[in-house]
Amino acid sequence: MHPANRLEYRGDIEGMRAIAVLLVVIGHASIGWFSGGYAGVDVFFVISGFLITSLLTKELSSTGKISIRQFYARRALRLLPASTVVLLATLVASWSWLSPLRFADTVQDIVASAFYFINFRLAEIGTDYLASDDPPSPVQHFWSLAVEEQFYVFWPVLILLATLWSRRRGHVRFGPLAVILGTLTVGSLALSWLVTHQNAPWAYFGTHTRAWELGLGALVALGAPKLVRLPRVAAELAAWVGLGAIITSALMYDEFTAFPGIAALLPVGGAALLIAAGCRSSSAGRVLSIPPLRVLGKLSYGWYLWHWPLLIVVPAAFDLSPSPVVNLVLVGIALVLAQISLVAVENPIRHLATLRRRPGRGIGLGLSLSSSTAAVALGMAILLPPGGMPGLLTADAPRFMPPEAMGGLPTIISLPEPGAGPAAKPMPSMVSLIEQGLKTQNLPSNLDPPIAKAAKDMPILYSNGCHLGLNSSSLPNGCFFGDLPSPTTVVLFGDSHAAQWFPTLLVLAAQQEWRLVSLTKSSCGPADVAVFEKGLNRVYTECQQWRAKALARIAELRPALVLVSALFDSRNPVPATSDPGAAWVEGWKRSFVSLQGSAEHVAMMVDTPYRSTNGPDCAAGNPTRLTACIQSTSGALWEPVRRANVAKLAESLGVVVIDPIPWMCLNSKCPIVIRNVLVYRDNHHISQPFARLVAPMLEASLPSLAP
């Protein structure tokens, strides 16, 4: 008997689907110990590669051909009805409950999901370091469906081409196909390993780095005629080892695992072993075939579709703090919705005779569903934008006033007494602006920057290549600003939290006739400490290389002043140490000493508060209730102990310490709008207009620079 006949229904594979979706859902819901639950997606890829290849090779063996139209019609009828319902429901929910900014992003994501290229969009966004803290898209999970469909664009055609010679002689041989597929699978695995360590987002979401997982499942399908004759002992061993590998990956892996890469071999290889053993049958397969798992397996597609939008949108809609209990309720509701969509949408449409017998109609329906979803999404964005976008000026939102109209901004602030810790006390006029901001309810019509443009309101350093991304380690040429012939050189040195002060220094450079030099790099602070960079899934060697070059450049420049700043994040030094806080302080000390040997003065801008919500997003969602966006400084300072210890160290070394919090907060409360200026462009970078607004405060905090 041809093994394909035994694969029309396999209860063990249905059970594998259940295990895979459980791992994904539990991982996303942060329930239990499955921090690597994302590996469930890899199991789905192997299952899909096996089942689809089995279906295609069976058709080719029995008829001598593959109906491409029928294949795509089946895919459309299987996937698109349910996904369309979920996308449209998510669209309406996002319009109703998410902020206008998040809704605009969601519309783009839904269009990308409807046409199965959301993985490319997510990969591109993921390479943007500044977007790494943005809230996840409610349809982000559609990336895996996009990868599968992109794979199946060429897979049936490749099968036909690889078997063309043998079919002409009346007997289909799959040997050449296995060789081609094996080569492509190995190549894709090599790419996955390489790209994972070079560009983690593209490795995770890319079809080229995931194709090997579907390819391995397809190879198992091609080997099914021989696998059916596996010795029982071998089948038993393979099955339990495979199941153990899947569970182990879910337990051992976490967000810091370099994934997919070589690490994906554990769940992918485990899934392949389990499926291969099932061709012969095993006790593990019988366990997976128990009715509860088979039922859950049938609901796996719908549950996968529904669970993520609920986890993302519902907490935002009802102002809930995500917790295991809340998430458990939400994924339970998602399971109910999966059952409803299976009975009311998936099965009726998939089994409709008029569509199954006419593949053209099935393909037409699929195209109509995708096009209609995109059209509705774009139409809602254009014709029915979410209410509450800023537009009307009200009495408590004053229009812009130039500094001279309000008597000028303060140019003198009190500096801290030696040993008193970082401080910067603004004069009353700035205090009054902050007080007014804390009372302001309505967004001004002339908000600067406008809400819709806030996310892109970045210093010119980003567009001209002076601020380096994660993968760069070479110092850029140029990056000199202000009065270029000036004998007074000022250097800005640090990560993106240093770069956010570039507009401030640029104002002062123009006023004081300085030559301003920028040396900044994403996620790379001045402290001489090696770290693991999550965005790269490895040790951030580019940072160490760049920092050494930057310090050497500063030594050559012999500047009058170096201003340093950095985000005090929670990364631990590499190699690990029992006292990471002390290691950070020592790293800062080495850098301070090096800088003091190169510059006349060194100043440190300690970190700004880290908002619990995205600033522009909160303002857009509360345009007539801005007080809802007030951020308390309590809990807003990352690593406050290390922040204080480094500031104390800096003072002891004679480094000028500047704390910008009094320029943006009063009585531990920080408004989102001061005057007509939006303070933040995201949740932890200040906007350019605000950076320019506080230029007088920074000027008064800095030591006098003699020409």
| 408 in a structural domain | no
Asked whether residue 99 falls in the same domain as residue 170, the answer is yes
Query: 249, 252, 164: which is closest to 213 by C-alpha?
Result: 249
Task: Answer with the one of 362, 383, 404 that is the final residue of a domain.
Answer: 383
Predicted pLDDT of residue 125: 84
Residue 3 pLDDT level (bands cut at 50, 70, 90): very low
Q: How many alpha carbons lie under 13 Å from residue 633 in its C-beta half-sphere?
A: 15
435 pLDDT higher than 60: yes
Read off the tokens for 73.
């019609």
Lowest pLDDT segment from 52-66, 409-423, 480-494, 680-694: 409-423
Residue labelled with tokens 């790269």: 536
Report the number of distinct structural domains present in the chain: 2
- Per the CB < 8 A criterion, the answer to whether 298 and 79 are in contact is no
The last residue of a domain, from among 331, 366, 383: 383
pLDDT of residue 165: 81
Of the candidates 498, 477, 480, the residue with the CA atom closest to the CA atom of residue 489: 480
- Residue that finishes a domain, picked among 358, 383, 408: 383
Residues 156 and 261 in one domain: yes
Residue 707 scores a pLDDT above 70: no
**163 within domain boundaries:** yes
The answer to whether 518 and 591 have CB atoms below 8 angstroms apart is no
- Region label for 194, one of left (φ > 0), alpha (ψ between -120 and 50) or beta (otherwise): alpha
Q: Could you report the per-residue pLDDT of 610-663, keeping only the tens digit for each?
A: 998 899 999 998 999 999 999 999 889 888 999 999 999 999 999 999 999 999
Contact present, 147 and 207 (Cβ < 8 Å): yes
Confidence of residue 525 (pLDDT cuts 50, 70, 90): very high
The single-letter DSSP state of residue 28 is H
The answer to whether 558 and 598 are in contact (CB under 8 A) is yes
pLDDT tens digits, one per residue of 174-206: 999 999 999 999 999 999 999 998 888 899 999
Instruction: Examine the domain organization and report whether 173 and 61 are in the same domain.
Output: yes
pLDDT score, position 570: 79
At 130 the pLDDT is 47
Q: Confirm whether 517 is domain-assigned.
A: yes
**Mean pLDDT across 512-527:** 95
435 and 306, same structural domain?
no
Would you state the pLDDT for residue 8? 63
Burial code of 12-31, b = ≥16 C-beta within 10 A, e = fewer? bbbbbbbbbbbbbbbbbbeb
Banded pLDDT at 419 (limits 50, 70, 90): very low
Minimum mean pLDDT range among 7-16, 357-366, 483-492? 7-16
SS3 for 84? helix
**78 and 149 co-located in one domain:** yes
In a domain, 407, yes or no: no
Per-state percent for the chain, helix, strand, coil, to nearest 5:
60, 5, 35
What pLDDT is stored for residue 571 in this prediction?
84
Map tokens 């983690």 to a residue: 200
Is residue 379 located within the same domain as residue 426? no
Two tokens at 435? 């007080």
* Residues 204 and 296 reside in one and the same domain: yes
Give the C-alpha separation, 318 to 327, whole Å. 13
Query: What is the distance between the alpha carbons of residues 444 and 215, in angstroms, rounded to a whole number?
Result: 56
Q: Which residues of 650-684 are buried (b: 16+ CB within 10 A; e: fewer)?
A: bbeeebbbbbbbbbbbbeebbbbbbbbbbbbbbbb
Residue type, 342: L
E strands, 583-642, where?
A: 601-605, 631-632
Please check the confidence at residue 4 and state whether its pLDDT lies above 70: no
**Residue 152 pLDDT exceeds 60:** yes
Q: Is residue 389 domain-resident? A: no
Q: Answer yes or no: do 455 and 368 share one domain.
A: no
Write the DSSP symbol of residue 680.
Answer: B
Instruction: Please say if the pLDDT value at position 7 is more than 50.
Output: no
pLDDT computed for residue 471 by the predictor? 86
Say how far apart CA 204 and CA 2 lie, in whole Å: 36
> In this predicted model, what pLDDT tens digit does every residue of 207-260 receive, in sequence order?
999 999 999 999 999 999 999 999 999 999 999 999 999 999 999 998 888 899
Which residue's structure tokens are 């809802």? 628
The answer as to whether 16 is a domain residue is: yes
Same domain, 280 and 211: yes
> Is 458 found in the same domain as 505?
yes
User: Which pLDDT belongs to residue 129?
Assistant: 45
Give the model confidence (pLDDT) of 289-313 as tens digits.
999 999 999 999 999 999 999 999 9
Kindly state the tokens that stand for 361: 């109609």
pLDDT at 20 exceeding the cut of 90:
yes
Determine the pLDDT at residue 222.
Answer: 95
What number of residues does the chain have? 707
For residue 589, what are the domain limits?
422-701
What is the model's pLDDT at position 277?
Answer: 95
Bigger pLDDT: 537 vs 516: 516
State the average pLDDT over residues 470-492. Answer: 92
- Both 362 and 431 in one domain: the answer is no
411 located within any domain = no
User: Would you state the structure tokens that stand for residue 414, as one six-digit string?
Assistant: 């009190």
**Who has greater pLDDT, 675 or 43?**
43
Residue 554's pLDDT band, with cuts at 50, 70 and 90, is: very high
Confidence class of residue 576 from pLDDT cuts 50, 70 and 90?
Answer: confident
3-state secondary structure 270-305: HHHHHHHHHCCCCHHHHHHCCHHHHHHHHCHHHHHH
Are 303 and 449 members of one domain? no
> How far does the chain reach from its first CA to its final CA, in angstroms?
91
- Mean of the per-residue pLDDT values of the chain: 89
Q: How confident is the model at residue 1 (pLDDT cuts 50, 70, 90)?
A: very low
Residue 394 has pLDDT above 50, yes or no: no
Cα–Cα dist 659/496, whole Å: 17
**pLDDT value of position 243:** 97
Residue 412 is assigned to a structural domain of this protein = no
Higher-confidence residue of 174 and 165: namely 174
Which has the closest alpha carbon to 243: 290, 282, 204?
282
Q: Which residues pair with 144 in a beta bridge?
A: none
- Residue 370, pLDDT above cutoff 80: yes
What is the pLDDT at residue 357? 84
CATH number at residue 443: 3.40.50.1110
> Distance of CA 202 to CAs 121, 123, 275, Å?
10, 5, 28
pLDDT at position 218: 97
pLDDT band at residue 354, thresholds of 50, 70 and 90? confident
Lowest mean pLDDT among 107-111, 502-506, 549-553, 570-574: 570-574
Confidence category of residue 415, pLDDT binned at 50, 70, 90: very low
CB 101 within 8 Å of CB 451: yes
Amino acid at 240: W
Does 408 score more than 60 pLDDT? Answer: no
